[in-house]
Structure 1
């Protein structure tokens, strides 16, 4: 079966016995085209099921009203919430989102960026894939003059807009909270240290211990891959929890760089009848919805992801609306909030919702 020919502006013009330029101007609501002609063109567009070539239109206008968003994964509340935050702001300005998922793979990320540039997006908002070390595809965005905002996982040495959570402060506050609850031997579920957010969380953990004269024990810092699908991280958390049961002196506190790793450990401790938080107190990171419904509810750091998305969108708009050569890249820091729940409350204090 032959493929049905796509309707063009020339087809509409032929049906109406007008020129293609008249049809084009009518579709663009040109003031010199009469209302009757515009109405006739719109009727024929519907009749012939005409679909405009948005890429060609973007080339002519120099503007597509589309913003590309790169997410490492779409099945995480964290990234879904950031997308919501971006969309809240850009929708009011007449923009639409085109979302690409990298699956944390360099090749997919590069391909997604090439696609977005080919469709002439007006800007790109991206979180860097964990595999990415070569940033030539990001440099290509900047070289083409397309506004670029990096969020959450960023490239510190790259002079573009950044929106990040203060992971150092978040970790410091989490560990300080555990110490204030009476914990003196605190383990850390650390992410891979080539990723800056995990470097910062480790350093915040270390600073809190040292400020309270608690020695840093390398045996209690366990590095693993915390950027996986939810079920894989839960399995990782179970493995990490099980490993802590094998050491001579089990920790009385755990600061996890992932909510789901903390939840996996909680599953193991409950199976072994280890009381939480009496025997071991836990704090996670990200404040996923699941943190509030697990038993016991998990204390966690809320990264204010909608605010992060809002901020990324506003930085794009600020750069988009600035005069050429006048915009200076900015770095916005979002302060995470410790949401205290039962998993860490050795001392009975008012619990935040």
Structure 2
């Protein structure tokens, strides 16, 4: 295997000191423009790549941040990643992305891998199956700044960046009620995620405020396309009356929409649907899906800005903050 080119190799070819090469590559003000040009041209010819690990060991910083999310394939998280990468790139940071695939053990391994790679900070959204938070506390114990976004836990002190899930859900269900819906099903999950609890509570509060009975038989564990699809058939075959469905994500909403159409129900004339995310498919399905925009790109940007500020001031005590971003109910074709 061919040996990697080093600063010493460049210095030898140009007959200058390795320290001069190092400073030239960093655009040091004490190095002449002519020398900088010669060093950079030769570095490019020789395909020189900086040894970030060596720099990390020397400076006790890596200029790398780590990210742990539940799923890359989820539209919301993909937009968050774009926001993270754009801010990190602008500030000279590289990013290591990992996914837990909604698996607790994998999430734990991801954290250990990032810490072993000496990342300067970690951005994280927990898996829906995480109910033990010792691995997250381990981040703090190692002195690594942490920002939790979207799926957070109050079991760990950190900066949080979230939306108002309670208000977003309540606003959506209130809209369904205003359009005449009374038998409104909730498609969510039975896990302990704070965002799920908040969305369910928002759903309940809207019904309570409108003096509509809260029925346990209209609350379902259905937070995926497949589960929502089968749940709709279960509801309709049992002749349980429903005139609307509020789901905790767009994938569930599309599953419900597909099943309703196959069963011969008209949307929104017979059953209205509201999703949550504003994914690409919500705009191209037929009819287009009424949904809640979470603005994942902005969440990623703001979370990264907060983390980089933490990294910069890691030795200073700064009180932890909670940033709440606005959502928007986007009215489309699946509601009246």
Shift of 1:86: 2.5
Question: Secondary structure of the residue that 2:147 maps to in structure 1?
Answer: strand
Q: Would the alpha carbon gap of residues 334 and 28 (structure 1) be closer, same or farther in structure 2, given more than 3 Å must change?
A: closer
- Separation in structure 2 between the aligned mates of residue 11 and residue 115 of structure 1, nearest angstrom: 32
- Equivalences for 1:211-230 in 2 at 5 Å? 211-224=209-222, 226=223
* Match in the other structure for 2:170: 172
Q: Would the alpha carbon gap of residues 254 and 88 (structure 1) be closer, same or farther in structure 2, given more than 3 Å must change?
A: same
Equivalent residues of 1:59, 1:120 under 8 A apart: no
Please give the root-mean-square deviation of Cα atoms over the aligned residues, in Å: 2.3
Shift of 1:47: 4.1
Q: Does 1:124 pair with 2:122?
A: yes
Question: Secondary structure of the residue that 2:102 maps to in structure 1?
Answer: coil
Q: Would the alpha carbon gap of residues 17 and 91 (structure 1) be closer, same or farther in structure 2, given more than 3 Å must change?
A: closer
* Match in the other structure for 2:205: 207
TM-score after normalising by structure 2: 0.90
The C-alpha deviation readout for 1:193-233, integer Å capped at 9, x for no partner, is 32221111111111111111111111111113x2xxxxxx3
Structure 2: gaps of 5 or more residues: none
Q: Does 1:307 pair with 2:291?
A: no
The C-alpha deviation readout for 1:66-86, integer Å capped at 9, x for no partner, is 222222111122111112222
Equivalent residues of 1:190, 1:257 under 8 A apart: yes
Question: Secondary structure of the residue that 2:275 maps to in structure 1?
Answer: strand
* Match in the other structure for 1:137: 135
- Separation in structure 2 between the aligned mates of residue 217 and residue 341 of structure 1, nearest angstrom: 27
- Separation in structure 2 between the aligned mates of residue 95 and residue 300 of structure 1, nearest angstrom: 34
- Equivalences for 1:21-32 in 2 at 5 Å? 21-31=19-29
Shift of 1:319: 2.0
TM-score after normalising by structure 1: 0.86
Q: Does 1:60 pair with 2:58?
A: yes
Match of 2:103 among 92, 102, 105: 105
Shift of 1:323: 6.3
* Match in the other structure for 2:44: 46
Question: Secondary structure of the residue that 1:344 maps to in structure 2?
Answer: coil
Question: Secondary structure of the residue that 2:190 maps to in structure 1?
Answer: coil
Q: How many residues align?
A: 336
Structure 1: gaps of 5 or more residues: 227-232, 346-353
Q: Does 1:245 pair with 2:236?
A: yes
